[in-house]
Structure 1
Amino acid sequence: MTEDQKKKCRAIVHSHAAAAAAGNAVPVPGLGIATDMVTMTSMAMSLCAVFGGSLTEEAAKALAIASIKNTMLKQPIKTLSKELSKFIPFLGQIVAPSISVVMLEAAGWTLAKELEAKFRA
């Protein structure tokens, strides 16, 4: 990955993680997962463009689902904590967005590395 690509990926991953955090601040259990999925789909399409590729929205959704699933399986306690924290007034609005940022950052960088490898060939 070139420095320019890293810089673009960093901007994409950070901005999408911030957007997911905003959506996860809403104290409705389950809404965070939906927000994460929409954000990851958009992130996948944006990251793909950095490496000179293009994805349909359906392909981006499939990548997003795979990335979120892998991240959740690696970090099940964080996922469960994020959703359960929403049942606690005020605390959930701090905990859920924080955990979402960590999870989206990890999933985003994993996705960026996968896309780089895919489009490098």
Structure 2
Amino acid sequence: MTEDQKTKCRTIIHSHAAVAAAGNAVPLPGLGIAVDVVTMTTMTMSLCAVFGGNITEEAAKALALATMKNTMLKQPIRTMAKELSKLVPGLGSLVAPSIAVVILEAAGWALASDLERKFKASHINE
């Protein structure tokens, strides 16, 4: 990954993580996961562009869901804590956004690394 690509990825990932944090501040269990999926879908489309790729919204959503699933399986305690904290008034508005940022950042960088490999391989085959 070039320095320019890293900078662009950092901006995309951080801005999408901030959006997810805002969405996860709403104290409704389950809403955070929906916000995370939408955020990851748009993040996926933006990251594809960084590496010279193009992806449909449906393909981006599928890739985003797979990445989120893998990230959440690696961090099951955080994922459960994020949603369960929303059941405690006040606590959820503080804990859930913080955990959402950690999860989205991890998933975003995993996705960026995966997309870089995929698009680099496709450019080699051209």
Q: TM-score range by the shorter chain?
A: over 0.9
CA distance in 1, matches of 2:80, 2:91: 15
Q: CA deviation at 1:46?
A: 0.1
TM-score by length of 1: 0.99
After superposition, give the CA deviation of every residue in 1:56-92 in whole Å (9 maximum; x if it has no partner): 0000000110011001100000000000000111111
The amino acid across from 1:12 in the alignment is: I
1:74 equivalent in structure 2: 74
CA distance in 2, matches of 1:72, 1:112: 17
1:102 equivalent in structure 2: 102
The amino acid across from 1:105 in the alignment is: E
Q: CA deviation at 1:98?
A: 0.2
Q: Does 1:113 align with 2:113?
A: yes
TM-score by length of 2: 0.95
Q: Does 1:6 align with 2:36?
A: no
Q: Does 1:42 align with 2:42?
A: yes
CA distance in 2, matches of 1:23, 1:64: 17
The amino acid across from 2:5 in the alignment is: Q
Percent identity over the alignment is: 76
In the comparison of the two structures, how many residue pairs are matched?
121
User: CA RMSD for the aligned pairs?
Assistant: 0.4
CA distance in 1, matches of 2:5, 2:72: 26
SS state of the match for residue 27, structure 2? Answer: coil
Bigger-Rg structure (1/2) = 2
- Unaligned 5+ runs, structure 2: 122-126
SS state of the match for residue 55, structure 2? Answer: coil
- Unaligned 5+ runs, structure 1: none
Q: Does 1:22 align with 2:22?
A: yes
The amino acid across from 1:28 in the alignment is: L
CA distance in 2, matches of 1:67, 1:95: 22
Displaced runs of 4 or more, over 2 A: none
